[in-house]
Amino acid sequence: MPVQVRHGSALPEEIFAALLRTGVDATEGGPVSYRPPYRRVRLCDAVDSWARCCAGYGRLRDVGVEPHLESFGGCLLGQLCPPSLLIAVTELEGMFFRQHGLRSVSLSYAQQASPEQDEEALAALRRLVDELLPELDSHVVLYTYMGVYPRTRDGAPRLLGAAARLAVRGGAAHLIVKTPAEAYRIPTIAGSTRLVLPSQIPRSVTMSSASRPGCAPPSVPTRSMWS
């Protein structure tokens, strides 16, 4: 099973050292996006640290492994943000990763409040990836809505259904899902696992993505924000 390490450190050199020791080839973050929500660190210090980490992570190629880094820029503060800001930050972090030696990256975007605007934002992001990072192995990751989560019984499945539709329509390669527990607390491992297993995903989520005429249910891989 593929493993991606998600951490939250603006100064992640010890984490990257552990990734190198263990051979884990996928992680997430960025010098801008991992700085505001988690820790008060000067931007120049975060940039220097992430530059060293990116350059060092490339050493996995010495053992035949291509490292992959996902920008958190499309999620940024973990809350609602202007789409243009999310696109700009994740694209710039992708360019930063390339500048410091990485060849496999993913850029992110968090579902906002307008499906039409979100589809346009994903289209703009994919266009910029093609224009600015054409030589990289890259894809787009969509995060389920990062605002205040619904407390009603049907609210969370309906929101997840909207995220699934957006992932399909917007051409995202991965979908980061959330659980109904997000309205109250950080979910348990068991709760996150249930949501990413296909047999446990609510029918309203798996079927809603097929609402377009001629659109089959998605094969977009899902993973939990907290798993």
- Note the pLDDT tens digit of each residue in 3-38: 889 898 999 999 999 999 999 999 999 999 998 866
Among 120, 40, 30, CA closest to 75: 30
- Does position 39 have pLDDT exceeding 90, yes or no? no
Show the tokens assigned to 195. Answer: 């949501």
Confidence band (pLDDT; 50, 70, 90) for 80? confident
Residue 8's Cβ-side half-sphere holds a number of Cα atoms within 13 Å equal to 8
Mean pLDDT for the stretch of residues 117-125: 97
pTM, two decimals, is 0.84
184 or 5, which is more confident?
Answer: 5
